[in-house]
Chains A and B, each alone.
Chain A
Amino acid sequence: MSNSDSHKLSGKRYTSKEVCLFLSDYAVALFGCAATCIRLDRNINRMAAAFGKKVEMFIMPRHIHMTVCQPGEDDTFTYISSVRPAPISFSLNTRLSQLSWHVADDGLSLETARHRFEHMLQCDKETPWVTLTLASLANASFCGIFGGDAIAMLIVLVATAIGFRLKQLMASCHVDGRVIFFVCAFISSVIGASAFILTPDGTPSIAVGTSVLYLVPGIPFLNSFSDLLYRHYICAFSRFTDAVILTACLSLGLCLGMKLMSVGMF
């Protein structure tokens, strides 16, 4: 049995403050990695019940307002935590969801849960070159799906590779997401528009159109509809607005790129 496992089933009773501080950190991390409100609600309630607490949450786009109380006792604690912008990560989402089940089913102590939680946050790293390669191949495949020929696919592959690498570099320098979308769409569309010079009789318009598709903010769009169905209207509207703004930045970059290359849209 590992050191952390020795905390299991300790039967220790925690104050509402201790539980609330952990659950707030957990909620912020889960929300930041693009979990839906229904998942956040379920995971938090599952863990709170395992610690013998009752929880009420108010999920706002930038903050999570949480109150934890001990039923039947005068022990209540409220905490408001800020959501930190973080990259979308279903890997972290999966591990955090697994943690909530471990707390509920295996009776993990708060200390063990906190230890595992912090370990998960530290371990959530991407492998940039693998992602870059797969994203480039994916966008080239897109070009093929939409009817692009082999040369158009090759151009999209290069446009995506350069644009995506730029996106990674700008993100590591903490550049604003909207600027990243604009700049990357501009660069990729300029490279994509070279298809009009290299293969004018082929499918150059498909190459330009698909060269920026790797930037489409699909997950915020999907999550906004999920929140809408779960009646989290403020979060749904916020995620939708975020996605629309990013799409507008993408479109602006695409438009400028095409203007620079004197490429018509039809």
Chain B
Amino acid sequence: MLFEIIKDALLAAMAAIGFGSISRVPRRSYIWCGLIAALGHSARFLLMDPDVLGMHIVAATGIASFLIGSMAVFISPVAKTPAEAYLFPALLPMIPGMYAYRSFGGLAMCLLGDTQEKFGVYFYRFAENGFICLAILFTMVICAIVPIFTFRSTAFRATR
């Protein structure tokens, strides 16, 4: 399990650094992007693990996102970079890409389906994956932004 956590954390860190570079995060902040993403993603991994807490993906994502948002706020004055610069790259590894993909696939197959039975099956896949995907996205974004608004004085003085 330790190997899985480390592998997951390293991949999340790499993904965060890469997406940080796309959004032109200052280079000195790459290390922080990677660190926050690795810790956040590992936290979600542990929260969802059946042997630890076995939480639902939506709740686990919410807690991990709040953790990422809080880390971004308190690291931002140290790194002299706005907290938002870390948020997106660090959150991205938690984006429910496969749910979105399956949801979109279900929708496409619904449109192409020729029988009522097939339509029902694919519509169920579209709705199931789509609802989970939306719930994860909304929870993730709101939980990550709340610390910025809660600790405004810290978040908006980071570049001072």
- Interface of A toward B, CB cutoff 8 Å: 34-36, 38-39, 42, 87-94, 97-98, 100-101, 105, 124, 126, 130-131, 134-139, 141-142, 144-146, 205-206, 208-210, 213-214, 216, 218-219, 221-223, 225-226, 229-230, 251, 254-255, 264-266
Min CB gap A201→B, angstroms: 19
**Chain A to chain B contacts (Cβ below 8 Å), 19 pairs:** A42-B156, A90-B25, A90-B82, A94-B82, A134-B22, A139-B15, A141-B11, A144-B7, A206-B98, A209-B97, A219-B88, A222-B144, A226-B84, A254-B104, A255-B104, A255-B108, A264-B109, A265-B104, A265-B109
Q: Beyond the given A101-B160, A138-B16, A218-B88, please list 18 additional residue pairs across the A-B interface where CB-CB is below 8 A.
A: A39-B82, A92-B24, A94-B26, A134-B21, A139-B15, A141-B11, A141-B15, A145-B15, A145-B41, A209-B97, A209-B98, A216-B95, A219-B88, A226-B145, A254-B104, A255-B104, A265-B104, A265-B106
B102 contacts which chain A residues (CB < 8 A)? 265-266
Quick check: B95 and A105 within 8 Å, CB to CB? no
Quick check: B24 and A91 within 8 Å, CB to CB? yes
Per-position contact with A for B70-97: 1 when CB-CB < 8 Å, else 0?
A: 0000000000111011011001110101
* Complex CA–CA separation, A130 to B21 (angstroms): 8
- Give the interface residue-count category, chain B: 35 or more
Given A141-B14, A229-B145, A266-B125, A131 contacting B101 (CB threshold 8 A): no
Quick check: B24 and A88 within 8 Å, CB to CB? yes
Min CB gap A47→B, angstroms: 13
A101 contacts which chain B residues (CB < 8 A)? 159-160
B91 contacts which chain A residues (CB < 8 A)? 218, 222
Min CB gap A130→B, angstroms: 7
* Complex CA–CA separation, A142 to B14 (angstroms): 9
Whether, in the assembled complex, B131 has its beta carbon less than 8 Å from a beta carbon of chain A, the answer is no
Given A138-B19, A265-B109, A210 contacting B95 (CB threshold 8 A): no
Given A206-B98, A218-B95, A266-B105, A225 contacting B145 (CB threshold 8 A): yes
Whether, in the assembled complex, B151 has its beta carbon less than 8 Å from a beta carbon of chain A, the answer is no
Whether, in the assembled complex, B31 has its beta carbon less than 8 Å from a beta carbon of chain A, the answer is no
Quick check: B148 and A126 within 8 Å, CB to CB? no
A124 contacts which chain B residues (CB < 8 A)? 24
Given A91-B24, A135-B18, A138-B15, A213 contacting B95 (CB threshold 8 A): yes
Quick check: A126 and B24 within 8 Å, CB to CB? yes
Quick check: A225 and B142 within 8 Å, CB to CB? yes
Quick check: B12 and A145 within 8 Å, CB to CB? yes
Q: Which of A42, A94, A225, A265 contacts B81 (CB 8 A)?
A: A94
Residue of B nearest to A89 (CB): B24
B101 contacts which chain A residues (CB < 8 A)? 205, 208-209, 265
Residue of B nearest to A210 (CB): B97
Quick check: A141 and B18 within 8 Å, CB to CB? yes
* Complex CA–CA separation, A36 to B106 (angstroms): 34
* Complex CA–CA separation, A209 to B88 (angstroms): 20
Residue of A nearest to B97 (CB): A213
Given A225-B141, A265-B109, A136 contacting B159 (CB threshold 8 A): no
Residue of A nearest to B21 (CB): A134
* Complex CA–CA separation, A130 to B25 (angstroms): 13
Residue of B19, B41, B144 most packed against chain A (CB within 10 A): B19
Residue of B nearest to A167 (CB): B22
Residue of A nearest to B33 (CB): A90
Whether, in the assembled complex, B36 has its beta carbon less than 8 Å from a beta carbon of chain A, the answer is no
Quick check: A135 and B19 within 8 Å, CB to CB? yes
